[in-house]
Structure 1
Amino acid sequence: MTAYDAGPYVPDGADVSALREAAAGCRGCPLYADATQTVFGRGEASARAVLVGEQPGDQEDRQGEPFVGPAGKVLTRALDDAGIDPDDVYVTNAVKHFKFTVPERGKRRIHQQPSLREVSACRPWLTAELELIAPQVVVALGATAAKALMGPDFRVTRQRGKLLTPDPPLDGAQVLATVHPSAVLRAGEGREAMYESLVTDLRVVAEQLS
């Protein structure tokens, strides 16, 4: 079985800019082959909160930036409603390449959930980002990000909205899990209630940063 591991591509002692440049050439798992490009994190190294999503979507893959599609607009609004300064936030994903399928008679690329192997393979990039930024709080947006940070048995539905200490610890940072903004978009009639619950969870982060 082919090893999935981005570790050999992560340079030692690199700053965020150098990490981003190196990640563009990552071949740590097969997802790079079909994706347009690597989508690395965005934000200042001085950010006090890191928000981790699952993976880039279609628009993120095309533009090369995280959270620039419809879910990103929901997240931007929620951060504002929660009172979190955008300069205090670094946004990234657990997986840096877009995983998708194209229906036989369609052209639209349909999101596919990354596998545990793919999430594990990409973990060295996320670890490097977190070590450099050393945030106070890491927000896991959705189940994939939460499991990447807290382990495969973690359930967002049971422990969302709480400040938790991961094992192993992240240099003193606490982790808060909540829903992914894309879940708000899929919520139908319950969209507003789910959005408000996302904002409520983010307000816990805002209080921690104040």
Structure 2
Amino acid sequence: MDDPDADPEAIARTYARFELVNAIVSGHRETYERWVRPRLSPVWRTRVLDVGTGAADLPRRLLRWAAAEDLRLEVVGIDPDSRAIDAARAQQERDPVPGLELRRVATSVLADAGERFGVVLSNHVLHHLDGREFGRLLADSERLVAPGGVAVHGDIARTRWGYAGFAAGTWPFEWSLLRGTYIRPDGLTSIRRSFTARELAVLLPRGWRVRRAFPSRLEVVWRPEPRP
């Protein structure tokens, strides 16, 4: 999917299936319960930034879960890929979820503009980045997190069991539900390109830590240091 010459119809079908696949492999509910919900209130509105939002299935879930509890949440989903933002906007037009804002913009632009968020998130983005992009994302995240907030970038943990599980779990659907999408080949490639916990820990700057999450996931986490 990173290839700019990828088949646009296959891209569109892939984004349409992400909501179902990510519900199984991306730990969205844990992300909500652990990182987002503790910062929500029925009185004041909390802002969350989702970096590399794709078709915005994560923001849409977060907003629905918060609304079900009468908690006030606003999510800004950003992605540099126009194909992703177009897919997210089309889905939002078909099935509007209040509180979602979609932008084709980089994290550095938001940070330079002084925007701040209670939670800065990404899902399955880190393994797509080169070294410079990886460092820039973490540096921008530190600037974007509001006092008392948190940055959490979740990704796949590279393990043999994870690779085998994804290969086996998606194989029965290759010619039905996943037919004409990039989900299975790109998913297997993503696992091969992802990190182990030890590899991530070596790359992280001071103040960041690695957390293991379910299923076969890793999170890199940063919180602002309290002011003296």
Normalization by structure 2: what TM-score? 0.29
| Structure having the higher Rg | 2
Higher strand share: 2
Q: Which has the higher contact order (CA 8 A, sep 6+)?
A: 1
Normalization by structure 1: what TM-score? 0.31
